[in-house]
Chains A and B, each alone.
Chain A
Amino acid sequence: MINITEITPEDSIKLQKMIESATQLIKAAQYQWIQTPTIDSYNSLSPGLGNHLKTSVVRFMDRGNDSLILRPDNTAPIARIMASTPAPKQPVKLFYNASKFQRHPKSNDIVETLEFGFEIIADSSANADAEILITLSQLLTTLGFKDHIIDVGHSKSAQALPHNKREALLNNDFVKYGEVPERGSIALMKDMDTLKGLYNALQHKPESDHIYFNSGLVKELDYYTGIIFEVYIPHCGYPIASGGRYDGLLRTYGTDLPAVGAALNMNTILSVLGTK
C-alpha cells in the first residue's frame, strides 16, 4: 500500500512560505544546498542504513535485477557523497529539502515524508552540536513555533541500558521502565562527562530556554553516536523535528568524518498548521 502524501493548493502555499523563510535563514547561517538521488542503489547505500532503516526501506528490482530503493533517509546519501569527495579542510555546512520514503512500522504502508534538514560535517566539537540546536531553535521561532521544546539526550546513555529498559523507553512505557526519567533544564548537563561541553556552549544563549535535558530520550536509528534530540510543540503528540550526532556514519562509506544534523518533518508541521 502507498499512503500518498497529497498536499492541497492551500497547504502548498503555506509549505512554500515556510520553506522560503527557512531557506533564507539557513543560507544566512552559511549552509549550502545539497541534492541526493530519489532512486538509489540498495547495495551502494546499505552500509550506512542500520537495522531499523534496512527493515523500513522501500525496495524494488529493476530489469537487470539490481536492487533499487527510494531515498529512505536524507542523512545516509549525504554521508555517502561527503565520504566519496576529497576530505574537507574545514567543516562543511549543508542543507536539504527533500522527501524520504519509509514503510510504516505498523501498517507497512509506504509513507513519503518531506524533510527540511541541515548538517555540519567534519566538526566533532560540542560547539557544532550547540550550533545545530541554536539554528534549529531559531528556525522554529521563524516558522512561528515560539513555544517549541527541544529535548536533548545522549545516545550512550540509551545504549548502556539493558534491552528491556531501552525497549520500554522506545515505547514511551515508563511503567515497564520503572520510573519517570529525569528531565529538566540544561543545568542538568553541567556535571555529565558526555554533555558538559554542550552545556558550556549553550549557557547564556537565549535559545537555551527552549532546550531541556531528557535522560529518557532514545531513538530507533542505530547510527547516532553523541547527542540526540527531539522537538515538540504544544498540542502535537509527535516530534516536529529531530536529529543528533552520527560520527560513525561516514566511515561506513569509506571516509571517517564526524557529523551532526537536524531535520524538520514538514508533513507534521503542515498538519499542525492545519489545526491552528
Chain B
Amino acid sequence: MNTPITIATAKGYLLSESIAAFEKIGISFGNAIEESRKLFTNDESGHYSLLKIRPWDVTEYVENGAADLGIVGLDVLDEKKSNVIRLADLGFGKCSLVLAGPENQKDILRHHIKVATKFPNLTQQYFDNKGIKANLIKLYGAIELAPLTGLSDIISDLTATGATLKEHNLEVIDTILDSSAYLIANPSSYRTHYSTIVSLVNALKSQKR
C-alpha cells in the first residue's frame, strides 16, 4: 500500500467517537488532532490519513475523490443526497431531526406554516408527504431562536437529548429522521481499495456490538 487511505471525518461530536472506533480496531490516530488546530493526521502504520472537516463538507470531499472514505451523520447524507456509497451505520452519534414548536400546541401543523431549519430538503420532503404547504426559512444556526422571535412558527432541528429544545420552551411535534454516523466511500475508491475497505467495514461493525 503506497498512498494512505484518506478518511474525511466530521469535526465536532463525531470526531472523538470516530477516533475511538478506529482505536478499537487497531488504527491509532492518537488524540493530537482533536485538541490542536491540525486539520489532518496519519495513523501509526501510515496506512490511513484522517481529515478533520466540517460536517457539511465531508460529502463534497468524498464525492469528488479528495477523500476515499468519510464519516458523517445520516442527516447530512440524506439532506445532500450525494453520490457516495453508504458502507455502514457506525451506531454512534445518534440524534434525531425533529419538528418542534411551542409547548402544548401539538396540532399546530397547517398550510403556510413557517418552519425555520438547517435541513430544507428533508423538511420539505416531510411536508410534501403530509400534503401540507409549508413556508421554509433556511437558517445556519441558533434555530431555536426563530419561534421565540416570531421569525417562524415552528422549527425542524437536530436533537439528541431534547435539553436545548426544553430550555427554549419548545417540544417535539414529530420525528422526521433518526440519524447516526455513517461510513461512506467514493464509488471509485471503493473499487480501487475494495478488500481493505471491506475488512475495515467488518472490523468497525463487529466492534459496534
Interface residues of chain A, those whose CB is within 8 Å of chain B, are 106, 147, 149, 151, 171-176, 180, 183-184, 212, 232-239
How far is B198's CA from A183's CA once the two chains are assembled, in angstroms? 10
What's the least CB distance linking B1 to chain A, in Å?
A: 14
How far is B188's CA from A183's CA once the two chains are assembled, in angstroms? 14
Whether the Cβ atoms of B87 and A174 lie closer than 8 Å is yes
How far is B192's CA from A232's CA once the two chains are assembled, in angstroms? 9
**Residues in A neighbouring B182, C-beta threshold 8 A:** 175
* Partner among B84, B186, B194 whose Cβ is within 8 Å of the Cβ of A183: B194
CB of B120 closer than 8 Å to a CB of A: no
**Residues in B neighbouring A173, C-beta threshold 8 A:** 86
How far is B64's CA from A214's CA once the two chains are assembled, in angstroms? 22
Q: A234-B65, A237-B83 are in contact. List 11 more A-B contacts (CB 8 A).
A: A106-B81, A147-B192, A173-B86, A174-B85, A174-B86, A174-B87, A174-B88, A180-B88, A180-B197, A232-B187, A236-B65
CB of B89 closer than 8 Å to a CB of A: yes
**Residues in B neighbouring A147, C-beta threshold 8 A:** 192
The CB with the most chain B CB atoms within 10 A, among A172, A183, A212, A239, is that of: A172
Whether the Cβ atoms of A237 and B87 lie closer than 8 Å is no
* Partner among B86, B188, B198, B201 whose Cβ is within 8 Å of the Cβ of A236: B188
Whether the Cβ atoms of B84 and A172 lie closer than 8 Å is yes
CB of B63 closer than 8 Å to a CB of A: yes
Whether the Cβ atoms of A149 and B192 lie closer than 8 Å is yes
B contacts with A, residue count (CB < 8 A): 22
**Residues in B neighbouring A180, C-beta threshold 8 A:** 87-88, 197-198, 201
Q: Can you report 26 residue pairs joining A to B where beta carbons are below 8 Å apart?
A: A149-B188, A149-B192, A151-B191, A172-B83, A172-B84, A172-B187, A174-B85, A174-B86, A175-B86, A175-B88, A175-B182, A176-B86, A180-B87, A180-B88, A180-B197, A212-B191, A212-B194, A232-B191, A232-B192, A233-B188, A234-B189, A236-B188, A237-B63, A237-B188, A238-B187, A239-B187
Q: Which residue of A lies closest to B64 (CB)?
A: A237
CB contacts under 8 Å to A, within B33-78, are: 63-65
**Residues in B neighbouring A184, C-beta threshold 8 A:** 194
What's the least CB distance linking B62 to chain A, in Å?
A: 8
**Residues in A neighbouring B87, C-beta threshold 8 A:** 174-175, 180
Whether the Cβ atoms of A175 and B187 lie closer than 8 Å is no
Whether the Cβ atoms of A172 and B198 lie closer than 8 Å is no
Q: Which residue of A lies closest to B88 (CB)?
A: A175
* Partner among B65, B88, B201 whose Cβ is within 8 Å of the Cβ of A235: B65
* Partner among B65, B81, B191 whose Cβ is within 8 Å of the Cβ of A149: B191
Give per-residue flags for B87-126: 1 if the beta carbon is below 8 A from chain A beta carbons, else 0: 1110000000000000000000000000000000000000
**Residues in A neighbouring B84, C-beta threshold 8 A:** 172, 237
How far is B191's CA from A171's CA once the two chains are assembled, in angstroms? 16
**Residues in B neighbouring A171, C-beta threshold 8 A:** 86
**Residues in A neighbouring B191, C-beta threshold 8 A:** 149, 151, 183, 212, 232
How far is B63's CA from A265's CA once the two chains are assembled, in angstroms? 18
* Partner among B65, B89, B194, B198 whose Cβ is within 8 Å of the Cβ of A175: B89
Q: Which residue of B lies closest to A177 (CB)?
A: B86
Q: Which residue of A lies closest to B198 (CB)?
A: A180
**Residues in B neighbouring A176, C-beta threshold 8 A:** 86
Whether the Cβ atoms of B194 and A232 lie closer than 8 Å is no
Identify the 9 closest CB pairs spanning chains A and B, nearest first: A235-B65, A172-B85, A173-B86, A232-B188, A149-B191, A237-B187, A175-B86, A175-B89, A232-B191
**Residues in B neighbouring A149, C-beta threshold 8 A:** 188, 191-192
Q: Which residue of A lies closest to B201 (CB)?
A: A180
* Partner among A172, A233, A235 whose Cβ is within 8 Å of the Cβ of B86: A172
How far is B188's CA from A239's CA once the two chains are assembled, in angstroms? 8
